[in-house]
A and B are shown apart, each in its own frame.
Chain A
């Protein structure tokens, strides 16, 4: 058992930090997924003329 007494606000703050952390992780997954889809679909292929230069 911890010798430091846990205040209710620490629990709340911990919950908020975990929530923000999970959201950021989810955001990264979404950006990664979107990038994979867009790159594999060829959304970012340069026009043929530019590609051959």
Chain B
């Protein structure tokens, strides 16, 4: 063997900076940052900009750390699913050990730093969120029950509560309502994805509702959860986090969302195959806008209230 070939063989698997960044699931992180920021700004207590910035950063790092630990544990199924094959571990760019160490280090750092920067209620909530996502959802529920998405959705719903806790040092009905909004939104969002990415979950052996209870049942579940979500979202509009602007946006979005779920309910597999799951894909895209605009509306109401407007 020549020196050159020995070099190539031993140097090949070294990860770049971007590979480590990809472990943090940057797209999920944007949702975490946005909802946490809304929770922080919607709270009645003003927060110093430097503390707010540092807190949101540490919440984002904590969210990213749980993503890295999720990729470490799920490397085997990520390698099978088309949607996740290019992630750093299945792509051979980062080793499982590196991802584990990276995730654990960032989990500890973000939790302690958030506690020091803001308060220990917020720090503890972030620590619990990472534990919930990694241990309860990823290690336990995901491969065990078709309700994985329902209960696991709680992990993604915590950030606005953490943001609220940064400002107030506690938990209140408003922060619980923001939690519930994301919690109830998660199942229809992921089940719509499971409908059109069906082969992925089949191959990976993840007990998604589509695999265990069939696709008809999944369509019914999407509709039922969407109705419950709409009731919750409109109900939140009459509380202190709502107001006329929120209500106007919520009415339009929920009508569109319920219509989308109704269309999904009234389709069968043949119809979906013909247009390559167009309705399901549109519903999934709408779900992203749905959450973004609801939290955007909460933010608008909070800003307006600072100027003596907004609210009821």
Instruction: Determine chain B's interface SS by DSSP, over half rule.
Output: helix
From known contacts A7-B7, A30-B57, infer whether A37 and B14 are also in contact, taking CB-CB under 8 Å: no
A-contacting residues, B28-66, CB 8 Å: 48, 50-51, 53-54, 57
0/1 interface trace, chain A 11-26, chain B, CB 8 Å (1 if under) = 0110110111000000
From known contacts A7-B7, A9-B11, infer whether A34 and B17 are also in contact, taking CB-CB under 8 Å: no
B2 within 8 A of A: no
Question: With a CB–CB cut-off of 8 A, which chain A residues contact B14?
Answer: 9, 12-13
Chain B residue nearest to A20 (CB atoms) is: B17
Chain B nearest CB: distance from A35 CB in Å? 10
Q: Is the CB of B48 within 8 A of A37?
A: yes
Q: Is the CB of B16 within 8 A of A12?
A: yes
B256 within 8 A of A: no
- In the assembled complex, the Cα of A19 lies from the Cα of B48 at a distance in Å of 28
Which of A7, A16, A18, A33 is B11 in contact with, Cβ under 8 Å?
A: A7
- In the assembled complex, the Cα of A36 lies from the Cα of B51 at a distance in Å of 11
Question: With a CB–CB cut-off of 8 A, which chain A residues contact B51?
Answer: 34, 37
Chain B residue nearest to A37 (CB atoms) is: B50
0/1 interface trace, chain B 1-20, chain A, CB 8 Å (1 if under) = 00000010001101111001
Interface size class for chain B? 10 to 19
Which of A9, A19, A20, A30 is B54 in contact with, Cβ under 8 Å?
A: A30
B193 within 8 A of A: no
- In the assembled complex, the Cα of A16 lies from the Cα of B94 at a distance in Å of 13
- In the assembled complex, the Cα of A37 lies from the Cα of B186 at a distance in Å of 37
- In the assembled complex, the Cα of A5 lies from the Cα of B225 at a distance in Å of 60
- Among B7, B17, B20, B48, find the residue whose CB has the most chain A CB atoms closer than 10 A: B17
Chain B nearest CB: distance from A38 CB in Å? 8
Chain A nearest CB: distance from B240 CB in Å? 27
Question: With a CB–CB cut-off of 8 A, which chain B residues contact A20?
Answer: 17
- In the assembled complex, the Cα of A37 lies from the Cα of B118 at a distance in Å of 12
Question: With a CB–CB cut-off of 8 A, which chain B residues contact A13?
Answer: 14
- In the assembled complex, the Cα of A9 lies from the Cα of B157 at a distance in Å of 40
A-B contact sample (10 more), CB < 8 A, given A30-B53, A34-B51: A7-B7, A9-B11, A12-B14, A16-B20, A33-B50, A34-B116, A34-B117, A36-B50, A37-B48, A37-B50
A-B contact pairs, 26 of them (CB 8 A): A7-B7, A7-B11, A9-B11, A9-B12, A9-B14, A12-B14, A12-B16, A13-B14, A15-B16, A15-B17, A16-B15, A16-B16, A16-B20, A18-B17, A19-B17, A30-B57, A33-B50, A33-B54, A34-B51, A34-B54, A34-B116, A34-B117, A36-B50, A37-B48, A37-B50, A37-B51
